[in-house]
Chains A and B, each alone.
Chain A
């Protein structure tokens, strides 16, 4: 009987706390839980392979090794300053501070590049549909350039911008720009004719049709396109950084490769994965705030 009441006292507040959470935060917690379970499962398999001797710790160090000594890995996150001649290797920020600076630098390049690409390409896409002459002048070239791999633009980035932030940002912009223009145009062509016709029967001018119907109508799809391209910009920025933009995660990967340091490679990969995940989360939140009228679609497929 006393055991009963102890159990009751223990479990009641906990159940209460879970019940008191709003459905939304409960769903968020559940999502985080599944995320941890998913990553944990793969990490567990990896650890198991290591424990039975299949995975060689020198080539494929399991998570407990490459995450085991973070300060040790952080040593390699030299900011540009510390590589400069005449600067003592121990000068500059602490190792963890260096990781922070590196991560911030790379993320900044991704988001600035993404922002510039989004604004430029949506603007140009809308202008192309608005002015037929502009379409005839620019669309063939844009279509021609869109399949060119971003890697081919790397030398151009270095010729034009040397080293520093500019070439990395340029790479992100150029990697996204052309096909985001094309996708803006196809979104415009897909806008429900009736919505445009309603505005026209109410006396809307061409400018009003574009500003009040077409742009709000394409926004949801464009944000999805942006989210999909987020991952592409992470990839491109790493390529740009690995060729000597200064400092950044790409440079660390390059360093790890050149010094044959698998622990550092996996540590950096884990970091990049986490950053990609977090930035997708940020964009998803942005999407929810901005596109209040788009219903959340995931529920439709549940229970099939």
Chain B
């Protein structure tokens, strides 16, 4: 499809954000600016990592792109459509575990299919397939509260994959995992990403994780979140974390982030003092 001359972007892009701003609780005394003037394009099949200090609006940006909240200014498109409501094409994996406690693991994974009225047999097959990709077929018939925190997060990943989304939005999905499981999950995510051809927008606090995964790392400023720099990483995967290139990238990202984290802390302290 050719690009539409009336659109300010290429309709081939997976996500296009133009001048995005978000103020929570706008028009109230508790108004709170989380994002300001964010321009970000994500190409189809691209792996983008968002890195920024706590509270800078990373989750907020994912919510806006998922269509769960409305931005206060700017516009968001995904492929040919403007984002106004949620869509199964854009799956969001939440920062906190969010499995339905009353459903078995496989029912959680195939929840989106049951919404569409897919017959039970097919749902179970899809769930089995998605769970096998996260190594949890055994836990298929268990209930979420019988799983460990890391297993629950893997189920959440399987649930998002079962929807075959074009854009996968991931909010610190592996933050609660131990280092080894985390490394395994990263490898697995890269496999899935290559297979599915989906675009990934991945939020993390971990510079190591960003360096291991990203095509591009987007560094945010402290609140209100703006894009500070975008660091492209043009290294083949799997990447050796101890290679000189990765060392250099880590140093660069650490430098970029340090000032922002300090500023975020100073601001939060000032807020606490004024009450």
**Chain A nearest CB: distance from B81 CB in Å?**
14
Q: Give the chain B neighbours of A197 by CB distance below 8 A.
A: 66, 68, 86, 92, 94, 98
On chain A, the number of residues with a Cβ less than 8 Å from chain B's Cβ atoms is 20
Q: Give the chain B neighbours of A204 by CB distance below 8 A.
A: 115
Q: Give the chain A neighbours of B100 by CB distance below 8 A.
A: 195, 198, 213, 216
Q: Give the chain B neighbours of A201 by CB distance below 8 A.
A: 66-68, 86-88, 90-92
Q: Give the chain A neighbours of B102 by CB distance below 8 A.
A: 216-217, 293
The interface bits of chain A over 208-225 (1 if a CB of B lies within 8 angstroms of the residue's CB, else 0) are: 100011001100000000
**Chain B nearest CB: distance from A223 CB in Å?**
13
Looking at A194, A201, A216, which has the most chain B CB atoms within 10 Å of its CB? A201
**Chain A nearest CB: distance from B111 CB in Å?**
6
Say yes or no: B115 contacts A202, CB within 8 Å: yes
Say yes or no: A203 contacts B115, CB within 8 Å: yes
Is A13 positioned at the interface, with any CB of B under 8 Å from its CB? no
The interface bits of chain A over 183-207 (1 if a CB of B lies within 8 angstroms of the residue's CB, else 0) are: 0000000001011011111111000
Is A295 positioned at the interface, with any CB of B under 8 Å from its CB? yes
Question: How far apart sit A212 and B110, CA to CA, in the bound complex (Å)?
Answer: 13
Is B116 positioned at the interface, with any CB of A under 8 Å from its CB? yes
Looking at A202, A216, A217, A293, which has the most chain B CB atoms within 10 Å of its CB? A202
The interface bits of chain B over 40-80 (1 if a CB of A lies within 8 angstroms of the residue's CB, else 0) are: 00000000000000000000000000111000000000000
**Chain B nearest CB: distance from A272 CB in Å?**
35
**Chain B nearest CB: distance from A187 CB in Å?**
15
Say yes or no: B101 contacts A293, CB within 8 Å: yes
Say yes or no: A202 contacts B88, CB within 8 Å: yes
Is B145 positioned at the interface, with any CB of A under 8 Å from its CB? yes
Question: How far apart sit A149 and B90, CA to CA, in the bound complex (Å)?
Answer: 52
Say yes or no: B115 contacts A199, CB within 8 Å: yes
The answer to whether A200 and B86 touch (CB under 8 A), given A208-B115, A293-B145, is yes
Say yes or no: B111 contacts A194, CB within 8 Å: no
Q: Give the chain B neighbours of A192 by CB distance below 8 A.
A: 98
Question: How far apart sit A209 and B67, CA to CA, in the bound complex (Å)?
Answer: 16
**Chain A nearest CB: distance from B157 CB in Å?**
13
Q: Is the interface of B mostly helix, strand, loop or mixed?
A: loop
Question: How far apart sit A267 and B113, CA to CA, in the bound complex (Å)?
Answer: 59
Say yes or no: A194 contacts B98, CB within 8 Å: yes
Q: Kindly count the residue-residue contacts between A and B in the assembled complex, taking CB atoms under 8 Å apart.
A: 59
**Chain B nearest CB: distance from A60 CB in Å?**
50
Q: Give the chain A neighbours of B115 by CB distance below 8 A.
A: 199, 202-204, 208, 212
**Chain B nearest CB: distance from A291 CB in Å?**
8
Identity of the chain A residue whose Cβ is nearest the Cβ of B94 in the assembled complex = A194
Is B112 positioned at the interface, with any CB of A under 8 Å from its CB? yes
Q: Give the chain A neighbours of B68 by CB distance below 8 A.
A: 197, 200-201
Say yes or no: A203 contacts B112, CB within 8 Å: yes
Question: How far apart sit A204 and B87, CA to CA, in the bound complex (Å)?
Answer: 9
Identity of the chain B residue whose Cβ is nearest the Cβ of A208 in the assembled complex = B115
Question: How far apart sit A203 and B114, CA to CA, in the bound complex (Å)?
Answer: 11
Looking at B67, B100, B159, which has the most chain A CB atoms within 10 Å of its CB? B100
The answer to whether A203 and B94 touch (CB under 8 A), given A213-B100, A216-B102, is no
Q: Give the chain A neighbours of B67 by CB distance below 8 A.
A: 201
Question: How far apart sit A198 and B114, CA to CA, in the bound complex (Å)?
Answer: 13
**Chain B nearest CB: distance from A194 CB in Å?**
4
Is B143 positioned at the interface, with any CB of A under 8 Å from its CB? yes
Is B269 positioned at the interface, with any CB of A under 8 Å from its CB? no
**Chain B nearest CB: distance from A218 CB in Å?**
11
The interface bits of chain A over 278-298 (1 if a CB of B lies within 8 angstroms of the residue's CB, else 0) are: 000000000000001111000
Is B163 positioned at the interface, with any CB of A under 8 Å from its CB? yes
Question: How far apart sit A119 and B96, CA to CA, in the bound complex (Å)?
Answer: 33
Identity of the chain A residue whose Cβ is nearest the Cβ of B163 in the assembled complex = A202
Question: How far apart sit A200 and B163, CA to CA, in the bound complex (Å)?
Answer: 13
Q: Give the chain B neighbours of A212 by CB distance below 8 A.
A: 111, 114-115
What are 24 A-B pairs with beta-carbon distances under 8 A?
Answer: A194-B96, A194-B98, A197-B98, A198-B94, A199-B115, A201-B66, A201-B68, A201-B87, A201-B88, A201-B91, A202-B88, A202-B91, A202-B111, A203-B86, A203-B87, A203-B112, A204-B115, A212-B111, A213-B100, A216-B100, A292-B143, A293-B101, A293-B145, A295-B145
Q: B-side interface residues toward A, CB under 8 Å?
A: 66-68, 86-88, 90-92, 94, 96, 98, 100-102, 111-112, 114-116, 143, 145, 159, 163
- Give 3 nearest A-B pairs by CB, closest first: A202-B112, A194-B98, A203-B88
7 further A-B pairs in the complex, CB-CB below 8 A; given A198-B159, A201-B86, A212-B111: A197-B68, A197-B86, A197-B92, A202-B112, A203-B115, A292-B143, A293-B143
